[in-house]
Amino acid sequence: MPRADASTSTRSPKWEARRDAIVDTSARLFAASGYHATGLNELCDANDLGKGALYHYIGSKEGLLAAIHDRVMDEVLLGAERVVEAGGTPSARLAMLGEELLDVIHRYPDHVWVFLHEFPALTGERAANFRERRREYERHVEEVLRAGVDSGEFRDLDPWLTARAWLGMHNYTYLWLKPGQRLSARDVAEPFAQVFMDGIRRPGG
């Protein structure tokens, strides 16, 4: 639940800012060509840095990939926590969860693209950490669905399976939901919520 590396940072704010910029720029390259297909030299060119300087900031290529993942997961889990704090009926919470998720996808299209395509490239502890945070988010969704079934607001559905349907519907927008396009995050979140909510509400509700 805390941020990726939190307060253990021993670096200057300037260093952190530069690193963040590198992460963002690199996410764009990875999204455009893929993680393995993007070479260190391309990353250096795009960031206006030599290899030595780049490694001064990122440690390793996989560290850079992990930083991109962390950025997305930080935002997504923060959104989920806001939903928990806001409370409300299961329907309201599910709708807000959708808004928050689509907002992240809309604001970080490159990071999300990389995360959905390249997560298998993470290894060891980094892979385990990522999987755990992803599962944590999925549990939030399942929890809301379970609450709705228990309260009778939703019909008697399988929370796990229904969560997968919900996640697919929303995550898959990474292919076409981009800033500066026709549709905003809210333009999509609303009709999606309407379809999904009508689809799972108890008929007599």
For DNA, the binding residues (CB under 7 A) are: 11-12, 14-15, 18, 36, 38-42, 48-53, 55-57, 60-62
Q: Considering CB distances under 5 to 8 angstroms, the limit depending on partner class, which of a copy of itself, DNA, none binds residue 86? A: none
Considering the complex, what minimum distance in angstroms separates the CB of residue 92 from DNA? 45
Q: Considering CB distances under 5 to 8 angstroms, the limit depending on partner class, which of DNA, a copy of itself, none binds residue 51? A: DNA
Half-sphere exposure of 51 (CA within 13 A, CB side): 5
CA distance 102 to 181: 14
Burial classification of residue 200, based on how many CB atoms lie within 10 Å of its CB (0-12 exposed, 13-18 middle, 19 or more buried): buried
Identity of the residue, 49 or 73, whose beta carbon is nearer to a copy of itself in the bound complex? 73
Which 8-state DSSP code applies to residue 179?
T
Q: Considering CB distances under 5 to 8 angstroms, the limit depending on partner class, which of DNA, a copy of itself, none binds residue 181? A: none
Do 173 and 188 meet the contact criterion of CB atoms below 8 Å apart?
yes
Considering the complex, what minimum distance in angstroms separates the CB of residue 115 from DNA? 18
**Positions that interact with a copy of itself (CB under 8 A):** 32-37, 117-118, 120-121, 157-158, 161-162, 164-165, 167-173, 176, 183, 188, 191-192, 194-201
Identity of the residue, 36 or 51, whose beta carbon is nearer to a copy of itself in the bound complex? 36
Q: Considering CB distances under 5 to 8 angstroms, the limit depending on partner class, which of a copy of itself, DNA, none binds residue 167? A: a copy of itself
The CA–CA distances, whole Å, from 115 to 47, 56, 98, 110, 199 equal 20, 23, 18, 9, 29
- The three-state secondary structure class of 156 is coil
